[in-house]
């Protein structure tokens, strides 16, 4: 009963424990750096705090702790699981940030503080059931992210990316708020449960409510870079420092998906509207968004010459896969979606980490710069190959297993296969085939094409550790998915 | 529980990893690793075949691998009369291919051998798996090394052919995967789906014929493209033309058999009612493949492409045997798979050597090679004769009993005129082989190309072709050596369908 250790320390504030540690981090980081520019100390304290938060979170997760604090923060297995995901991302980013040449050293206090603030927002979102408080959490993360992108100073691309990100982010925020106000106007509450009740009770279609929901989908669609709201993602991921890109691609995006799940999935599932007007319409809306998002992401990724842009488009496509759960709206689909979010952290995170490590070693971001890498850095090339194959869904890696669960959920549930979303499963698997094409191009550059140099590449130790962690989980979750998948089912409640 | 069947998968896997790691100055030694590991695999396969490890049933392995509220997936391996021959064929051909390519000097040799060994992992897995999840994983694993084999080591149009091969067969396997999902969901009333072959076979009986025949179509499509059957065959000639000889041998020798193996193992075993429902469709596709493949052969000028088309025709013969759904039909269909594996390996090796030693595979440019390359010509003749079904060689026992089984079938159904198709195919097969042989080997020596650098077979190539020739003759005069495994399996299968 490891959760008791945590409750004995935090008492009735246990649901806030992780948040307390993260907020503490956000507040003390600039202070630590003030003491004579001790970048190493800042980094070490940040790392220790993340590990503490992770330890607390894992303790709460394994005992499936459920609790409420201050009447607004609800901690349950779902929160624990999603927080674990965010904390893993935070841990990986913090781990490599000190060694990366891209993250600015002169502002390390601000940098870590922003990372912690963003993570606080993410964890906070998963503890909420009210549209407005969810909105607050999302904004905390978003505003911190704009600043994080801009922190890579004296780089034109980063400045452009930050401005673009801030403007588009601001627009999506406005859209979301507009949608929330419409929904509030019709349903009379911002509580998701109350809105669900409204949907269940109402008998005639209301345009105001529909527009409100659509505006919210669009607003949050920007956050997860769903097509057609995806334009900012490649520029931002390319312009930002690679650890930050990784944070955005694997962390922020998951927060957006968590919001989708908490707001829309819960709303419609609570309302039990399957086969009724709002349910049917929303299912097909999400199905179309999912299909278009994965297709556009994969097709455009083929044309990319910059590996960060390619990874950006591929993570757009991955968000499309995860959106399948929104279309299918079964518990099986939701837990498969959660599981895919987890595997995506390790495979996409690993790929970004390798790109970041190679930038530190002086290798460019173009795919052509990766020529002959297998001879220069055999381990990195092999790891990159495994991450990319996992993203493409090659067995027996994590990406295959999670896609298997996800696509299976589109075909039906045990006891009944339904033909409704089989087409979505077809499109998704077809997309996996397309994606292998551009991943294989990188593998070919690394293994077959001759590079200009044969000098061995040395990368910082921290990167190596982070990459090994990702690699272990990509293989482990591939051959033993139950490790996380059982918690996904627990979080969804099956 | 023994781990003998697992060792057939794990040993090549270790070989692949070691070969992959042997970069740089050691890359030329990777071939010895590949030969060593594939030889050990062959020895184990041979010992299983000879029954040294005891009955096949005693070798079964099964572990629960993934268990959650939606799925139960097992790491389950089994071997029986059907798979044992395929396992033996895989182990044999991989070793022979490794030896065959000893003299070749290519860049990044270690990746080449790693790919071959990785392919062996997947192939062994497909033939041993008795769980749908494991089967699908292994099925996909074979695809990736073959894609890279063609794309990295192939001929001038290799990128086009590799991507065509990949997308074609991958799309087919996605249809198959969705078929698996439906099959799994329909086989249980509620609770987790157990993906083991036995559990699905028991559960799916409860589903109606309508849903069974729908699943059958999805699975059959996936397998049919792999075989390949007309009209979904167009990836094959391209893939073969561009693939390196070693790739072609494995592709035609054992990978195409995955398709027909899947039809028997999954479509027929799990969905027998649906198989009867679609019987005429299967037979129609089979006949179409036989005739179209044979016609295609006549039109080809590239020797290798001709052999590729002959594969379509011969795999059509396999499907015809399966389509009869009788004991003789299935027995000899599987025997034809085995025979075709041996013969086609020889054919592709000979064709590959033509391109390599003479400089071109274009039949109109060749002529009179027998005088300059007598040993090569001998092997080519043996391979061609075996393939056209000369009595005394293994091809005879593949083709003619299948036609006999088909004869029984059409007699029972009163459509005796359909025998004409078989006659036509036999004539065409004999025709294109003899014609090709005459144009390449005999007659006056060609003056269209420079033959002064052409040389006869090397030592390793000779050894490999000799082994294959001996096996072709051995199973030709004593087919019972293979049939003894098949007959019990087929009679048990036909008993339940």
Nearest neighbour of B68 by CB, restricted to A429, A433, A482: A482
Banded pLDDT at A405 (limits 50, 70, 90): very high
Residues of B in contact with A447 (CB under 8 A): 108, 111
Half-sphere exposure of A355 toward its Cβ, with a 13 Å CA cutoff? 28
Q: How far is A11 from chain B (nearest CA, A)?
A: 34
Q: Which structural domain, as residue segments, surrounds residue A34?
A: 2-492
pLDDT in tens, A166-199: 999 999 999 999 999 999 998 889 998 888 888 8
CA distance B233 to B225: 7
CB contact under 8 A, A407 and B181: yes
Q: Pick A489's closest partner by Cβ from B68, B181, B191.
A: B68
CA-nearest residue of chain B to A488? B68
CA distance A78 to B312: 53
Whether A275 has a pLDDT exceeding 60, the answer reads: no
Cα A239 to the center of its chain, rounded Å: 18
Q: What is the pLDDT of residue A276?
A: 64
Residue carrying the six token digits 């071109």 = B360
B185 and A494 within 8 Å at the Cβ level: the answer is no
pLDDT for A64 equals: 87
Q: How many residues does chain A have?
A: 494
**For A414, what's the count of Cα atoms within 13 Å in the CB-facing half-sphere?**
18
Q: Provide mean pLDDT across the span A281-304.
A: 92
Contacts of B65 in chain A (CB under 8 A): 479
* Mean pLDDT (whole number) for B118-144: 93
Partner A, chain B 38-97, Cβ-Cβ below 8 Å: 65-71
Residues 6+ apart with CB under 8 A from B322: B260, B263, B264, B268, B282, B286, B329, B330, B333
Question: In angstroms, what separates the C-alpha of B182 from chain A's closest C-alpha?
Answer: 6
Query: CB–CB of B171 and A430 under 8 A?
Result: yes
Structure confidence at residue B388 as a pLDDT band (50, 70, 90) = confident
What is the domain count for chain A?
Answer: 1
Q: A411 and B178 in contact by Cβ < 8 A?
A: yes
DSSP A105: S
**How far apart are alpha carbons B153 and A238 in whole angstroms?**
34
In sign, the C-alpha dihedral spanning A452, A455, A460, A465 is positive
Tell me the average pLDDT across B56-64: 87
Residues of A in contact with B133 (CB under 8 A): 404
Residue B180 in tokens: 């698996």
CA B200 – CA B297 distance, rounded (Å) = 41
Name the token pair of A479: 């051959």
pLDDT at A205 over 80: no
Measure the N-to-C terminal CA separation of chain A; round to a whole number of Å.
22
Query: Per the CB < 8 Å rule, is A429 touching B178?
Result: yes
Nearest to A430 among B70, B147, B174 (CB): B174
CA B168 to chain A, closest CA, distance in angstroms equals 10
Contacts of B140 in chain A (CB under 8 A): 394-395, 400
The CA distance from B271 to B264, in Å, is: 10
Alpha carbons B188 and B71: distance in angstroms, whole number: 11
* Average pLDDT of span A379-395: 91
CB contact under 8 A, B140 and A485: no
- The radius of gyration of chain A from alpha carbons, rounded to an integer in Å, stands at 22
**How confident is the model over B315-344, as pLDDT tens digits?**
999 999 999 999 999 999 999 999 999 999
pLDDT value of position B39: 95
**CA-based nearest residue to A29, from A101, A119, A164, A99:** A119
The verdict on a CB contact (< 8 Å) between A417 and B182 is yes
Can you give A363-413 as a three-state secondary structure string? CCCEHHHHCCHHHHCHHHHHHHHHHHHHHHCCCCCHHHHHHHHHHHHHHEE
Q: Is the pLDDT of residue A84 over 70?
A: yes
B168 shares contact with chain A (CB less than 8 Å): no
Candidates B69, B188, B211, partner chain A, best to mutate (most A CBs within 10 A): B69
User: Please, which pLDDT band fits residue A417 given cuts at 50, 70 and 90?
Assistant: confident
Of all residues in chain A, the one with the smallest CA distance to B171 is: A430
| CA-based nearest residue in chain B for residue A454 | B24
Higher pLDDT, A93 or A282: A93
Residues 6 or more apart whose Cβ sits within 8 Å of residue A301 = A310, A313, A314, A317, A435, A438
| Closest by Cβ to B163, choosing from A332, A378, A437 | A437
All residues of chain B having their beta carbon less than 8 Å from the beta carbon of residue A414 are: 70, 184-185, 188, 190-193
pLDDT at A36 over 70: no
Q: What does each C-alpha distance from B4 to A126, B11, B41, B56, B127 come to in angstroms?
A: 49, 10, 10, 11, 14
Residue in the structure block whose two tokens are 């036995």: B198
The pLDDT of residue B13 is 94
- Counting Cβ atoms within 10 Å, is residue B430 exposed (0-12), middle (13-18) or buried (19+)? middle
- Tell me the per-residue pLDDT of A87-133, one tens digit each, with 9 for 90 and over: 999 999 999 988 887 776 667 888 999 999 999 999 999 999 899 99
Q: Which residue in A332, A426, A433 is closest to B70 by CB distance?
A: A332
Task: Transcribe B273-317 into DSSP letters.
Answer: HHHHHTHHHHHHHHHHHHHHHHHHHHH--BHHHHHHHHHHHHHHH
In a mutational test of the A interface, the residue from B70, B106, B195, B244 whose CB has the highest number of chain A CBs within 10 Å is B70
Q: How confident is the model at residue A323 (pLDDT cuts 50, 70, 90)?
A: very high
Q: Which neighbouring-strand residues pair with A67?
A: A75
Q: Mutate which of B172, B178, B214, B225 to disrupt the A interface (most A C-beta within 10 Å)?
A: B178
Find the closest chain B residue to A478 by CA distance: B66
Do the beta carbons of residue B107 and residue B152 sit within 8 Å? no
Scanning every residue of chain B, which has its alpha carbon at the shortest distance from the alpha carbon of A483? B66
Report the distance separating Cα B368 and Cα B373, nearest Å: 9
Q: Is the dihedral of CA B146, B351, B156, B225 positive or negative?
A: negative
B137 with A489: Cβ contact below 8 A: no
**Cα–Cα distance measured from residue B31 to residue B25, given in angstroms and rounded to the nearest whole number:** 13
At which residue do the structure tokens 């994965």 appear?
A294
Binned at pLDDT 50, 70 and 90, residue B274 comes out as very high
Q: What CA–CA distances, in Å, run from A349 to A181, A245, B398?
A: 36, 9, 53
At B317 the pLDDT is: 92
Average pLDDT, integer, range B12-23: 89
Contact assignment for A429 to B185 by CB distance below 8 Å: no
d(CA A324, CA A321): 6
Q: Which of B330, B295, B324 minimizes the C-alpha distance to B312? A: B295
Q: How far apart are CA A425 and CA B178, in angstroms?
A: 8
* Cα separation values, A330 from A410, A426, A482, B271, Å: 9, 18, 19, 29
Q: Closest CB to B140: pick one of A395, A413, A444.
A: A395
**Helix, strand, coil shares, percent, chain A, to 5:** 80, 5, 20
Q: Provide the CB-side half-sphere exposure for B186 (13 A, CA).
A: 26
Contact between chains at A408 and B71 (C-beta distance less than 8 A)? yes
Average pLDDT over residues A373-378: 86
Q: State the Rg of chain B over Cα.
A: 22
Half-sphere exposure of A443 (CA within 13 A, CB side): 24
Task: Say if residue B299's pLDDT is above 90.
Answer: no
Q: Assess whether the previous peptide bond of A16 is cis (omega < 30° from 0).
A: no
Nearest chain A residue (CA) to B179: A411
Nearest by CB to residue B68, choosing from A411, A448, A486, is A486
B389: left (phi over 0), alpha (psi -120 to 50) or beta: left
Rounded distance, CA B247 to CA A473, Å? 33
Other Cβ atoms less than 10 A from the Cβ of A429: the count is 22
Given a cut of 70, whether residue A274 has pLDDT beyond it is no
Distance from CA of A265 to the nearest CA of B (A): 20
Q: Of the candidates B354, B130, B128, B343, which has an alpha carbon nearest to the alpha carbon of residue B241?
A: B354
């Amino acid at each position: 009963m490891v959760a008791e250790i945590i409750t004995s320390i935090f008492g009735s504030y246990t649901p806030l424990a992780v948040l307390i540690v993260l907020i503490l981090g956000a507040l003390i980081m600039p202070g630590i750096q003030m003491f004579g520019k001790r970048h190493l100390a800042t980094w070490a304290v940040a790392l220790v705090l993340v590990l503490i938060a992770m330890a607390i979170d894992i303790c709460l997760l394994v005992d499936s702790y459920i609790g409420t604090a201050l009447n607004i923060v609800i901690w349950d297995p779902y929160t624990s699981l999603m927080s674990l995901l965010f904390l893993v991302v935070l841990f990986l980013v913090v781990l490599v940030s000190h060694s990366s040449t891209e993250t600015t050293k002169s502002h390390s206090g601000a940098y870590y503080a922003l990372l912690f603030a963003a993570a606080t927002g993410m964890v906070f979102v998963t503890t909420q059931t009210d549209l407005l408080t969810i909105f607050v959490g999302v904004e905390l993360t978003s505003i911190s992210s704009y600043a994080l992108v801009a922190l890579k100073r004296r780089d034109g691309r980063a400045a452009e990316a930050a401005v673009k990100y801030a403007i588009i982010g601001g627009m999506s925020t406005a859209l979301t708020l507009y949608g929330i106000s419409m929904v509030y106007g019709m349903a009379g509450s911002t509580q998701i449960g109350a809105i669900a009740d409204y949907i269940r009770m109402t008998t005639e279609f209301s345009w105001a409510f529909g527009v409100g929901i659509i505006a919210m989908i669009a607003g949050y669609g920007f956050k997860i870079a769903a097509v057609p709201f995806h334009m900012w993602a490649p520029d931002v991921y390319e312009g930002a420092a690679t650890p930050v890109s990784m944070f955005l691609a694997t962390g922020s995006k998951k927060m957006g998906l968590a919001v989708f799940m908490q707001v829309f999935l819960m709303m419609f599932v609570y309302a039990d509207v399957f086969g009724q007007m709002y349910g049917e319409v929303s299912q097909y809306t999400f199905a179309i968004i999912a299909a278009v998002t994965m297709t556009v992401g994969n097709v455009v990724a083929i044309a990319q010459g910059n590996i960060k842009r390619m990874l950006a488009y591929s993570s757009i496509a991955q968000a499309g896969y995860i959106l399948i759960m929104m279309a299918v709206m079964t518990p099986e689909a939701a837990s498969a979606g959660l599981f895919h979010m987890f595997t995506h952290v390790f495979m996409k995170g690993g790929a970004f980490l390798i790109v970041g490590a190679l930038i530190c070693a002086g290798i460019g971001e173009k795919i052509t710069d990766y020529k002959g890498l297998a001879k220069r850095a055999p381990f990195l090339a092999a790891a990159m190959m495994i991450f990319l194959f996992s993203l493409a869904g090659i067995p027996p890696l994590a990406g295959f297993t999670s896609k298997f669960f996800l696509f299976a959920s589109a075909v039906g549930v045990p006891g009944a296969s339904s033909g409704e979303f089989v087409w979505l499963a077809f499109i998704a698997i077809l997309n996996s085939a397309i994606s292998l094409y551009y991943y294989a191009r990188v593998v070919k550059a690394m293994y077959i094409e001759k590079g200009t140099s044969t000098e061995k590449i040395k990368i910082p130790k921290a990167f190596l550790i982070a990459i090994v962690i990702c690699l272990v989980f990509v293989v482990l979750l591939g051959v033993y998915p139950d490790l996380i998948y059982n918690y996904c089912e627990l979080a969804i409640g099956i | 529980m023994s781990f003998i069947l697992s060792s057939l998968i794990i040993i090549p896997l270790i070989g692949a990893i070691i070969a992959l790691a042997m970069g740089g100055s050691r890359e030329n030694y990777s071939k010895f690793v590949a030969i060593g590991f594939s030889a050990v695999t062959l020895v184990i396969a041979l010992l299983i075949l000879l029954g040294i490890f005891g009955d096949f049933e005693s070798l079964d392995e099964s572990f629960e691998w993934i268990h959650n509220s939606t799925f139960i997936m097992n790491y389950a391996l089994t071997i029986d009369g059907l798979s044992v021959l395929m396992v033996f064929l895989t182990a044999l051909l991989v070793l022979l291919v490794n030896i065959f390519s000893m003299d070749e000097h290519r860049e990044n040799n270690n990746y080449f051998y790693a790919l071959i060994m990785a392919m062996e992992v997947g192939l062994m897995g497909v033939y041993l798996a008795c769980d749908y999840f494991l089967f699908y994983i292994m099925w996909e694993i074979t695809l990736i090394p073959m894609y890279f084999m063609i794309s990295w080591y192939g001929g001038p149009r290799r990128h086009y052919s590799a991507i065509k091969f990949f997308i074609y067969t991958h799309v087919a396997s996605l249809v198959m995967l969705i078929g698996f999902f439906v099959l799994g969901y329909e086989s249980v009333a509620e609770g987790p789906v157990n993906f083991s072959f036995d559990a699905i076979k028991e559960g799916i009986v409860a589903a109606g014929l309508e849903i069974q025949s729908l699943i059958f179509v999805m699975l059959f499509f996936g397998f049919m493209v792999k075989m390949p059957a007309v009209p979904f065959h167009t990836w094959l000639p391209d893939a073969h033309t561009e693939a390196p000889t070693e790739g072609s041998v494995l592709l035609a020798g054992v990978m195409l058999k995955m398709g027909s193996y899947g039809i028997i193992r999954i479509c027929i075993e799990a969905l027998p009612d649906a198989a009867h429902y679609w019987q005429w469709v299967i037979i129609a596709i089979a006949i179409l493949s036989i005739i179209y493949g044979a016609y295609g052969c006549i039109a080809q000028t590239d020797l290798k492409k001709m052999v590729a088309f002959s594969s379509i025709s011969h795999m059509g013969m396999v499907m015809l045997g399966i389509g009869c759904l009788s004991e003789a039909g299935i027995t000899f269909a599987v025997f034809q798979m085995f025979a075709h594996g041996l013969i086609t390996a020889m054919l592709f090796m000979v064709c590959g050597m033509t391109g390599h030693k003479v400089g071109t595979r274009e039949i109109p440019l060749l002529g009179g090679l027998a005088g300059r390359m007598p040993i090569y010509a001998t092997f080519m003749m043996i391979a061609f004769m075996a393939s056209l079904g000369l009595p005394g060689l293994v091809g005879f026992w593949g083709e003619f009993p299948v036609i006999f089984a088909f004869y029984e079938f059409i007699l029972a159904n009163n459509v005796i005129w359909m025998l004409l198709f078989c006659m036509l195919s036999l004539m065409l097969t004999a025709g294109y082989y003899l014609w090709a042989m005459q144009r390449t080997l005999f007659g006056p020596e060609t003056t269209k190309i420079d033959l002064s650098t052409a040389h006869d077979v090397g030592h390793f190539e000779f050894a490999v072709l000799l082994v294959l020739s001996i096996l072709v003759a051995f199973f030709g005069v004593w087919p019972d050596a293979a049939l003894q495994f098949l007959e019990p399996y087929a009679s048990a299968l036909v008993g339940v369908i």
